[in-house]
Structure 1
Amino acid sequence: MRPVPQSSSETFDYIVIGAGSAGCIVAARLAESGTARILLIEAGGADRHPFIAMPAAFTYAMSMRRFDWGYVSEPEPGLNGRRIDCPRGRVLGGSSSINAMAFVRGQPADFDGWAAAGLPEWSYAQCLPYFKKLESFSGGENEFRGGSGPLHVLQPRYSTPLNALFLEACREAGHRISDDTNGARQDGFGPMDQTIHEGIRESAARAYLRRARGGNLAIRKHAHVTRILFADRRAVGVEYRQAGRLHEARASAEVILCAGAIGSPQILMLSGIGPGAELSRLGIPVVRNSPEVGRNLQDHVDISCKHFTHGPVTMTSLLKWHRKPAVFLQWAALRSGGGETNHFEVAGYIRSDGTSGRPDIQICFIPMLVGSQGEVISGAHGFQATIMGLRPYSRGELRLKSPDPLQPPALTFNYLSDARDIRPLSDGIRRYREIVTAPALAGITGAELAPGPEVVSDSDLEAFVRATGKSTHHPCGTCRMGSDERSVVDSSGRVRGVAGLRVVDASIMPTICSGNINAPTMMIAEKLVDRIKAEQHEAHQLAAVAQ
């Protein structure tokens, strides 16, 4: 039997579930009116912690359970049965408070593809103004970049000469050198923009919530939403657990779900919106049979190539235990040194087959040798790069294990289940090897640590990809936006078949973007909160006319 709420219900105009990259934007923008009453509910706690603020410490923040939901996939057949970590932020700022701070918009063709699939208002031309609106770019405002938005985006100053040498090697290998891969075109190698400002992580919470003024925005931390409440198929509020008690809050206008690609479909299903037969088997009353909730799960896979170097020319020594206190103290006192960067300062976007077509891989250079959790893997100097497939064909799904809202769902990404996802990664290794053997790096590049010089054939490269491939932590697509009736939400994020409920986060992406997805997620939030405001204004006008 479900516990009875132990506190009286409060009423707001809007309830926003999840204070992540999207939720912070939605709540802060709605609160700008000064009149609408907003409740923002976050399962995690405050984001004031040095491991969140210090850019180089992101691997620590990502691995701390107080900030991370700790999701792990089911055994993945395409990755040799390995279970893959899926870190998601459980803290103010959500994943923008624990991610690697890479700011990548993707390709114009990503959004034009959404438009061609029946969502004309999501073309690149209609998304670009919102990319510009959200950012203050350190390189200055222009036709493609914003200069006065809440989020500071930094084009990095290279922390080591090795970055410039890598870029020169890219040029020598025949690749385009770009001043701005978030500008007119993505292809080429250049600086990798960072969500860092004055040596501190610029999360959605820091950029948006700390700018919010007035008493019309209430924030509930350590509050776990258990379900959305309905009356006659209209969302009227939420139920949540906080401090061991069950509470209710009511929404007179809308409930806006911003819990991310894992949390949003889970909450929908717990609330009775999802595959009807599955919900019934779990004893959850069906409000709306929506079979695609939890389906269409997408993510990027990356692999790492690693080389030793001749001489101490990399940043690897910063990882030694006796160096870390000095790095932290310099950052804490001056916001400078090895702690002020994520060390992902150069990236490129190319065709893996060597042609000049639309880029299908990202190569991100890292001037040190580290493991996936930022740990030292060798006492020797070295560098590495991650190679990420940009547009995977493989699709997975998320299912409820239990009607208990405190139990995590089952995640099956089906990584590399579509054979077309292998070739870009295998060929990407070949392209990277061409770069590191170019003249600019010839006197620096040492022995190849991974995959290893013996890994050359297609079959050997595929075996390496399947044995070492990992998530790039970009889950999306589980509440697909579309114009067809099977889609979970429409082009405005409204959940089909019910009223008063909207989803605004990465879960509504029809297809994954060609790059890290935090920037597109924030763009989605800026665009849809404008739509919410417009609909609210129209409703008020109609009400005034009716009177």
Structure 2
Amino acid sequence: MDETFDYVIVGAGSAGCVLANRLSEDGKSTVLLLEAGGSDSAFFIKMPSGYGKVIGSPRYDWCFNSLPEPQLGGREIFTPRGKVLGGSSSINGLAYVRGHRQDFDHWRQLGNRGWSWEDVLPLYRKIENFHGMFEENRSRKGLMHVSPLSPHPLSLRLLQAAAEAGLPDGTDYNSGDPEGLGILQMNKWKGRRFSSAAAYLHPAMPRHNLKVVTGADVSRILIENKVAVGIEYVVGDSHLVARAAIETLIAGGAVGSPKLMELSGIGDADRLAGLGIPVAAHLPGVGENLQDHFNVGLQLRLKGVGSINEQMSGFRVMLNGARYLFTRTGILANSPAQVTGYAKVMENAASADIQLWGMPGSVRVKRGSNGENKLVMDQDPGVSLSFDQNRPLSQGFVHINSADPRAKPDILFNYLDASLDREVVVRGLRLCRKILEQPAFDACRDGSAGPDAAFETDDTVLDFARANGRSSYHLAGTCRMGAGPGAVVDDRLRVHGIGRIRIIDSSIMPAIVSANTHAATVMIAENGARMVLEDRHSALTA
């Protein structure tokens, strides 16, 4: 059965929910939103601390793993991606972090008009309804609730220790060019997760001109005479076609979007021919330029103080659960990560080059009985401090290995391939240890932060990072915006060489932002929706 809509959107994640809202806002344009996952109504999705229960669950998570990483001793890196309304914004750590002014000015310097800090700051202000200390570059008028959490006493100790180590104090890390640590600003409202689906999609779903289909496995983009005309997809046993009268918009994220492009014949011609896929457009940059923030950190065991570890097991977790159920408050109403901010570890860095993460507890990844990955808290009191490199030079890829839409793609991050990345990781770990060694923790420390043997030389620090580092789940860049070789979309997000199709999600980032990617992806979608509507208006009035 064929249906025709003005706009067909693939993916109801951080970007797709925004697009569905903005493009159906006029009450006239017909919009179809396709999502492979299901409802986001599950209790552990709504509970801010519940993401450890949904990450690694095939019901809500694609549960990808990377190929063996050459610089990490051949380890495969667990790579969750949301498979649910709201996408990864329904299973992430709720952090709302914009990124640095320099990130977006760099995009503009690469030739991408409309993407400088001055261009995107009004979009960030349009997005957010900020419930913290009001500043000029923040807003209380947007659809996305942003709330500073109520910090645990150990989180305040982390702030004190960072100041003792020489980092600036009292920073709003969303100010544009920050250094120093602050309390996490969360996508939370009234004790519940406030995902992109909560902010944008659910308010729009009653509109008669918006249709949302869940459980929709997209097979390919329909292309006729170098023009995208719609989407083929499967729901259950039904094979369906949705035609787009105006545009097809791909919002599958940094894994899903390049996968769908290659399945549809858009990518490197030799690669596609080797898989028996007819070539619609030779764009060798599809799937290349994968970037992520490599995360590694330290844990400090404590004594004589409480952490969230012991609150998450036994009868205490039952008491905290009851408190959350009846009041939507307590530790379950917060993200376990409570502190973030920025520091500079390379002397010649133009701005802060690492993002720090503090948690009043310690967590590890445990393999479940069904092979799923689960985050579990340690039993004894502890505190954690980790970091991401803001602007990694190492790049990987996402590519299909089969013409079967059901097959998972190959993912390789290639972490620590660049020598600069290795140097930043060593310096970042030494800064984490320096902070945890400050007097703020003297009264309660129970041993060293990280094994002493790991800090004997720079080589041993690097070995520790190789063995313990992981993904920050901030995948970006696989359908890069720009012009020339390697670019996939132009600065209005239109796919090169194919008409009436855009990619609007984190995959278009020419360089990853110095932050969690959710806020920037929502901003990209707001900008993309504006461009779609502007171009439509221009076509009608031409």
Q: What TM-score bracket applies, with the shorter chain setting the length?
A: over 0.9
Does the 8 A contact of 1:18 with 1:40 survive in 2? yes
Aligned to 1:545: none
CA distance in 1, matches of 2:327, 2:497: 54
Bigger drift between 514-523 and 380-389 goes to 380-389
| Matching of residue 191 in structure 1 with residue 199 in structure 2 | no
| Matching of residue 359 in structure 1 with residue 360 in structure 2 | no
Bigger drift between 181-190 and 465-474 goes to 181-190
1:201 aligns with one of 163, 177, 193: 193
Aligned to 2:375: 374
Deviation at 1:322, TM superposition (A): 3.2
| Matching of residue 276 in structure 1 with residue 279 in structure 2 | no
Aligned to 1:14: 7
Aligned to 1:334: 327
Deviation at 1:390, TM superposition (A): 1.1
User: Aligned partner of 1:11: which letter?
Assistant: T
CA distance in 1, matches of 2:427, 2:384: 17
Q: TM-score, normalised by structure 2?
A: 0.96
Distance of aligned partners of 1:306 and 1:354 in 2 relative to their CA distance in 1, 3 Å threshold: farther
Task: For residue 185 of structure 2, give the secondary structure of its aligned residue in structure 1.
Answer: coil
Deviation at 1:98, TM superposition (A): 0.3
CA distance in 1, matches of 2:347, 2:162: 13
Task: For residue 154 of structure 1, give the secondary structure of its aligned residue in structure 2.
Answer: strand
Task: For residue 300 of structure 2, give the secondary structure of its aligned residue in structure 1.
Answer: strand
1:164 aligns with one of 156, 162, 169: 156
Task: For residue 446 of structure 1, give the secondary structure of its aligned residue in structure 2.
Answer: coil
| Matching of residue 298 in structure 1 with residue 299 in structure 2 | no
Per-residue displacement from partner, 1:332-357 (whole Å, max 9, x unpaired)? 22101111000222112001247885
User: Aligned partner of 2:478: which letter?
Assistant: T
Matches for 1:46-445 after TM superposition, within 5 Å:
46-139=39-132, 141-158=134-151, 160-212=152-204, 213-353=206-346, 358-372=351-365, 373-377=374-378, 379-445=379-445
Task: For residue 364 of structure 1, give the secondary structure of its aligned residue in structure 2.
Answer: strand
Bigger drift between 325-334 and 127-136 goes to 325-334
Distance of aligned partners of 1:25 and 1:140 in 2 relative to their CA distance in 1, 3 Å threshold: farther
Aligned to 1:5: none
CA distance in 2, matches of 1:93, 1:454: 40
Aligned Cα root-mean-square deviation (Å): 1.5
CA distance in 2, matches of 1:440, 1:222: 50
Does the 8 A contact of 1:422 with 1:465 survive in 2? no
Task: For residue 376 of structure 2, give the secondary structure of its aligned residue in structure 1.
Answer: coil
Distance of aligned partners of 1:349 and 1:287 in 2 relative to their CA distance in 1, 3 Å threshold: same
User: Aligned partner of 1:375: which letter?
Assistant: V
CA distance in 2, matches of 1:425, 1:321: 37
CA distance in 2, matches of 1:29, 1:119: 23
Per-residue displacement from partner, 1:158-192 (whole Å, max 9, x unpaired)? 1x222222212211211101341102432111122
Per-residue displacement from partner, 1:297-333 (whole Å, max 9, x unpaired)? 1111011201111213322111224332322222122
Deviation at 1:65, TM superposition (A): 0.7
Does the 8 A contact of 1:135 with 1:150 survive in 2? yes
CA distance in 2, matches of 1:79, 1:134: 38
Does the 8 A contact of 2:305 with 2:444 survive in 1? no
Q: TM-score, normalised by structure 1?
A: 0.95
Distance of aligned partners of 1:307 and 1:453 in 2 relative to their CA distance in 1, 3 Å threshold: farther
User: Aligned partner of 1:363: which letter?
Assistant: L
Deviation at 1:540, TM superposition (A): 1.4
User: Aligned partner of 2:120: which letter?
Assistant: C
CA distance in 1, matches of 2:134, 2:231: 41
Distance of aligned partners of 1:356 and 1:309 in 2 relative to their CA distance in 1, 3 Å threshold: farther
Q: Percent identity?
A: 38
Does the 8 A contact of 1:26 with 1:529 survive in 2? yes
CA distance in 1, matches of 2:533, 2:293: 33
Matches for 1:445-460 after TM superposition, within 5 Å:
445-448=445-448, 450-452=450-452, 455-460=455-460
In the alignment, structure 2 segments of 5+ residues that lack a partner are: 366-373
Deviation at 1:520, TM superposition (A): 0.6
User: Aligned partner of 1:426: which letter?
Assistant: V
| Matching of residue 508 in structure 1 with residue 500 in structure 2 | no
User: Aligned partner of 1:82: which letter?
Assistant: R
User: Aligned partner of 1:173: which letter?
Assistant: A
User: Aligned partner of 1:491: which letter?
Assistant: D
Task: For residue 448 of structure 1, give the secondary structure of its aligned residue in structure 2.
Answer: coil
Does the 8 A contact of 1:11 with 1:251 survive in 2? yes
Aligned to 1:45: 38
Does the 8 A contact of 1:401 with 1:410 survive in 2? yes
CA distance in 2, matches of 1:141, 1:499: 43
Does the 8 A contact of 2:273 with 2:279 survive in 1? yes
Task: For residue 14 of structure 1, give the secondary structure of its aligned residue in structure 2.
Answer: strand
CA distance in 2, matches of 1:32, 1:246: 29
Does the 8 A contact of 1:306 with 1:451 survive in 2? no
Deviation at 1:142, TM superposition (A): 3.6
In the alignment, structure 1 segments of 5+ residues that lack a partner are: 1-7, 543-547
Does the 8 A contact of 2:229 with 2:244 survive in 1? yes
Aligned to 1:3: none
Bigger drift between 188-197 and 436-445 goes to 436-445
CA distance in 1, matches of 2:470, 2:263: 29
Aligned to 1:498: 498
Does the 8 A contact of 1:354 with 1:431 survive in 2? no
CA distance in 2, matches of 1:67, 1:527: 28
Report the number of matched residues.
Answer: 533
Deviation at 1:446, TM superposition (A): 2.2
Task: For residue 18 of structure 2, give the secondary structure of its aligned residue in structure 1.
Answer: helix
Per-residue displacement from partner, 1:47-103 (whole Å, max 9, x unpaired)? 000110001111111121100011111100111100001100000000000011111
Task: For residue 408 of structure 2, give the secondary structure of its aligned residue in structure 1.
Answer: coil
Task: For residue 375 of structure 1, give the secondary structure of its aligned residue in structure 2.
Answer: strand
User: Aligned partner of 2:97: which letter?
Assistant: V
CA distance in 1, matches of 2:417, 2:49: 34
